[in-house]
Structures are given as structure tokens and as C-alpha cells.
Amino acid sequence: MREQTGENKGIPVVRKILSANDQAAMRNRAQLAAHNIIAVNVMSSPGAGKTTLLMATIDALKNTRRVGIVEGDVASQVDAERIATTGAPVVQINTGGGCHLDAPMVGQALESLPLDTLDMVFIENVGNLICPVSFDLGQAYKVALLSIPEGHDKPYKYPAIFEAVDLVVVTKSDLMPYLDFDLPLFKQLVRGLNPNAPVLVLSAKTGEGMDDWLEWLSAQAA
Amino acid sequence: MREQTGENKGIPVVRKILSANDQAAMRNRAQLAAHNIIAVNVMSSPGAGKTTLLMATIDALKNTRRVGIVEGDVASQVDAERIATTGAPVVQINTGGGCHLDAPMVGQALESLPLDTLDMVFIENVGNLICPVSFDLGQAYKVALLSIPEGHDKPYKYPAIFEAVDLVVVTKSDLMPYLDFDLPLFKQLVRGLNPNAPVLVLSAKTGEGMDDWLEWLSAQAA
């Protein structure tokens, strides 16, 4: 028995919790690359406007890019049904209680999308400002949405998501007149956590600022 | 060695994941009861207005109830600092990445509150519509906040929290004119998940609907 007291002596070792996920993420990334697809992992609190932004994006890109959507929710397919009205191919993942998507789930969802016909895939993560950050899905880019009504103080309280992403999008800018959202302070807080992530401000409802977002997407896909 | 092959033979058994939490919750509940304190576990998405509602509540109750606050956040103490301006005793818990409070954290926080001088304790959970639901903190009542900008469809996508709570409070009602929030549908969805939980609508900013909330609190404390 004395031989089996070390990592190399047959005793099982619990490895880094993310490694099974990271392996699946690597497979997703390879598969997306093989199809020349840019994948964007979209994260935010519940109700920050992920689905509404994606619907406006599908519409704006309809003549230039073929877009597919992976929808993540704890339960229901109401978001997938909204997306389906645009005509874009969409797959719903229900986590059944889980507070984030993981790479194996996304891998399974990609099997149901017509990858040969797509240029971009948006992965709408579960509405959550905490859990999704830790899980690589195999995306090319990570984007965080923060809606005006949530308040400018969120980078203090949820720093990890702002540190992790390639872009921060402030949504529902049409509500700015009715709320005390300090945009300069918000930008400063994000820059403190993540000097490289641009901060865009838009309203998918009114169209204000949508051009900046579409330009950013276009630059990543170039 | 053969003697040690069963649960009763000295082999450790991994128990239900919540049981350590449930034991701590039981201790919290007993301690709160010993001090005649009503504790309310307040849960919502990030930015739904938990802190603002609690500040308005402390102010409204200042002549009738002595209120203490346990603040839960992933990081920072900005919410505790806001609460401290009211003069109410407050303890900040930082989960350091965790997406919910648990009963041992709350037990530790209670040690820092002057329980002998308090009638009510509000526990402001981490901003998250998913994780906090599964953890009993030892509270007497659980309340879910849902802000108007988050949208009326949330019970479809996050059913567990609406099933679990004793009261649902719709916040930021002052924003109703600017958003397409279907209140009758929202109430119907909540009733479908939880026929016993009243749904109140209020704005802590304008004061609209605050009386109903204060009345509900008063009824629970009677």
C-alpha cells in the first residue's frame, strides 16, 4: 500500500474543475473555425436586453451575414421563439437550474445548427452576471451587456465579468433620461478593470448606437 | 478491512449538499427567534433595486421598528456604505465570486449585528435570479424583487425563485410608462407557479405602492 501515496502511484487526483469544460470548448472552437464561423458569447443580468439586441442584429445583418443563435435559459423556450420569428436558425438550451451554459451544452447545440450555411453564431448565455464568466464555450469573443436601469455601480460588485470580456455594451440607452446612470463613472470603472474593452452605448429599441455595435462586429469578422 | 464496507462501518459518506447549510440555517433561525427578530431574505437580479427599497423601508420604519441589514455582494461594500448613511446597523458579506449567500455566512454576519436592539433584519442576497433560491439562510420570509425593465417574461425563464418566495415585489413602477411590461400577464405567471404569494407593485423612488409593502411587513411582524 505504501507505493500508492503519490500522484504518480495510482491514486486518483481531482483535476482543475474546468478541464472537461475546457476540452469541450477547444472542440467547439475547432469546429467553428473549420466552418469560418465567428462565435460571440453574450452575457448579462436577466432582462438586460440580450434577445432584443440579437433580434435587431439579425435584422441589421440580414443582407450581409448569415447568423445562427444558441439560446441559453434555465427553463422555457420563449427567447428561442422570439428569435425564430426573425427566420434565423436557433437552438434552445435549457440548463434546468444551472446558472450558466457550459461548453458541452454548446457543442450539442452546434450539432443542431446548419453550420455550413452560417457566418456568425451568437450564444446567448443564461441571464446571470456571475456564473457564466468562468466557463469558456469556445467562442471567439465575449461580450457583456449592462442595461441602464441596472445602475452604473455594477463593476464594483461584479468585477469578474467586466474583467473577462472583449466588449461592454450599455443597453436601453433610451431610458437614460429617466434614470441616474453616471456613464462617465461607469466607463471609468470598466477601464479600471479592463483597459482594452471598448464600452458602447445603444438602444436596440430606438436604434441609437446600433451602428457602433455593427461596426465592432464587422471588424471582428474581417 | 472488510468490516469498513458500509455506511455504518466507518466509511465517510457524502451527504445531501445542503445539509451543512441547513444546520447553520436552523441555528440562525433559533438565534433570530431568541431575539424576537423577523428576518427577510431579499432576492433579485442585479440592479432590481434591493438596496434602494431597503433604504426607503428603513426610513419609513424609523419610528416603529429597529432594522438591521446584512448586505451580500460578490465584491465591494458600496451597498453597505449606502445603507450606513441611514444610520441602520449593517454588515457586508463579500462572497468573493460565489453567486449566493449561505447560512454560515449569514450566521457570522449576525454576530456583528446588535441583535438585542433589533426588531427586523433584512438580508440582501447577491444579485442573482438563480443561485440564492436553493439556500435557506434561516429567514422567516423570502421575498423576490423583479424590476419593470427586466420584463414580464421572467417567471417563464426563472421559475424556481417565483415558486419559492412568500411575496413578489415589482419594483421601479415609475418606469412603467416607458416600457412594455404586461402586469396582468406577469401576475398570472406568478400565480401559476405560486398561488399563495401576493404580487405588490411599487416605486421606492416615488413612494408609489410603498404602503402595501409596509403593510405586508407589518402583518408578518404582528
Tell whether B132 is covered by a domain.
yes
* CB-closest option in A74, A151, A159 to B130: A74
Which H or E element spans position A146? strand A141-147
Closest by CA position to A69, among listed A22, A23, A118? A118
Cβ–Cβ gap B46/A154 under 8 Å: yes
Kindly report the nearest CA distance between residue A53 and chain B, in angstroms.
14
Question: Tens-digit pLDDT profile for chain A (222 aa)?
Answer: 334 444 556 777 666 655 899 999 999 999 999 999 999 999 999 999 999 999 999 999 999 999 999 999 999 999 999 999 999 999 999 999 999 999 999 999 999 999 999 999 999 999 999 999 999 999 999 999 999 999 999 999 999 999 999 999 999 999 999 999 999 999 999 999 999 999 999 999 999 999 999 999 999 987
Report the amino acid identity of residue B99.
Answer: C
Kindly report the nearest CA distance between residue B49 and chain A, in angstroms.
8
Q: How far apart are CA A30 and CA A39, in angstroms?
A: 11
Tell whether B1 is covered by a domain.
no
Tell whether A3 is covered by a domain.
no
* CB-closest option in B75, B79, B147 to A149: B147
- Encode burial over B35-58: b for 16+ CB neighbours within 10 A, e otherwise: bebbbbbbbbbbbbbbbbbbbbbb
Task: List CB contacts of A168: < 8 A, sequence separation 6 or more.
Answer: A143, A144, A145, A146, A162, A190, A194, A197, A198, A199, A200
Tell whether A54 is covered by a domain.
yes
| CA-to-CA dists, residue A203 to A8, A170, B179, angstroms | 56, 8, 13
Residue A137 and residue A28 in contact, taking contact as beta carbons nearer than 8 Å: yes
pLDDT tens readout for residues B5-25: 445 567 776 666 658 999 999
Mutate to test the interface with B, among A18, A53, A55, A74 (most CBs of B within 10 A): A74
Q: What's the domain count of chain A? A: 1
Which residues of chain B lie closer than 8 angstroms to A153, CB-CB? 78
Closest by CA position to B21, among listed B130, B110, B134? B134
Tell whether B9 is covered by a domain.
no
Question: Can you give the residue range of the structural domain that contains B124?
Answer: 17-221
Tell whether A110 is covered by a domain.
yes
ipTM, two decimals: 0.90
Residue B82's CATH number: 3.40.50.300
Tell whether A195 is covered by a domain.
yes
Tell whether A170 is covered by a domain.
yes
Cα-based angle B155, B159, B160 (whole degrees, multiple of 5): 145
Please give the interface size between A and B, counted as residue pairs whose CB atoms are below 8 Å apart: 106
Chain B residue at shortest CA distance from A82? B153
| CA-to-CA dists, residue B92 to A150, A176, B1, B45, B137, angstroms | 20, 30, 49, 18, 15
